[in-house]
Amino acid sequence: MNTMNKITVSIPQLHEAPVALTAPPGGLRGMVTDWSSDRQAFQVSWGKAMMWVFLLSDTFIFGSFLTGYMTVRASTTVAWPNPSEVFALHVGGANIPLLLIAIMTFVLISSSGTMAMAVNCAYRRDRVNAATLMIVTATFGELFVLMQAFEWSKLILEGVRPWGNPMGAAQFGSAFFMITGFHGLHVTCGVIYLFVIVRRVLRSDYEKSGNYQNVEIAGLYWHFVDLVWVFIFAFFYLW
């Protein structure tokens, strides 16, 4: 009787290899990876990262201006003009100190609120309200620049010049025109920037991709300009 041997062949089962989820590398390697991707830096988009770099450089410039102003004011031997008198407005037979500056500050701070609401509407893809709120923000900016032009005109008519003034220390004029003029230039550029973004929003340029981050980036610039004015108001007009 023939005996049939059973041969058992074991076939290894094939299992799917687990997919490893790799986290972004950290440290120097992570920084190199971010910047070489040409799409984002430090886990944010290039546009937002470059705006932060620009704002950081502007912070150094404004900081240098204000530091120089405080140094000059503290070291001058000639009496510094009293801001409450220099920037007073004659209303109804009385001089009201810092009235125009207070209105300018209120207008600019209010524009930060409308800009924040515009960003919120943009991310909800409510482009009509986003564009409307940005137009309101730009209008506030234009009003601020017009009031600053009135302030400049008033002081120029009173004899204030970058190289001197009849009210006291000669450095007052140069510090005033340099600091407020540089900030006013930023506000003017911001108004133009906002209108460019408004045009793109109304044309539905961001609707196809659903990415309204450019509105947020414009908001970062505008909030920075408002924050700088708070420091100028505190150091230049209240000190």
Q: 97-131: per-residue pLDDT in tens?
A: 999 999 999 999 999 999 999 999 999 999 999 99
Q: What is the pLDDT of residue 176?
A: 94
Concatenating the DSSP letter of every residue in 2-37 gives: PPPPPPP-PPPPP-PPPPP-PPPP-HHHHHHHHHHT
Phi/psi for 229 (5° steps) reads -65, -35
Contact 155, 212 (CB under 8 A): no
The number of beta carbons lying within 10 Å of the beta carbon of residue 164 is 15
Cα 93–95–99 angle (5° rounding)? 125
Q: What is the pLDDT of residue 211?
A: 81
Domain boundaries, the chain: 40-237
Residue 14 pLDDT greater than 70, yes or no: no
Contact 47, 217 (CB under 8 A): yes
d(CA 124, CA 201): 13
Q: What is the pLDDT of residue 40?
A: 57
| pTM of this structure | 0.81
* Averaged pLDDT for residues 19-44: 58
Q: What is the mean pLDDT of the chain?
A: 85
| Percent of all residues in the chain with a pLDDT value above 90, rounded to a whole number | 58
Listed in sequence order, the residues at least 6 apart from 94 whose beta carbon sits closer than 8 Å to its beta carbon are none
d(CA 189, CA 141): 10
Amino acid at 17: A
What confidence tier does 20 reach under pLDDT thresholds 50, 70, 90? Answer: very low
What confidence tier does 77 reach under pLDDT thresholds 50, 70, 90? Answer: confident
Which region, left, alpha or beta, applies to residue 80 given φ > 0 means left and ψ of -120 to 50 means alpha?
Answer: beta
Q: Where are the alpha helices (DSSP H) in 80-209?
A: 83-86, 99-123, 127-157, 171-202
What digits encode the pLDDT tens for the residues 180-207? 999 999 999 999 999 999 999 999 888 8
Q: What is the pLDDT of residue 7?
A: 45
What confidence tier does 170 reach under pLDDT thresholds 50, 70, 90? Answer: confident
**In CATH terms, is domain 40-237 a member of 1.10.10.60?**
no
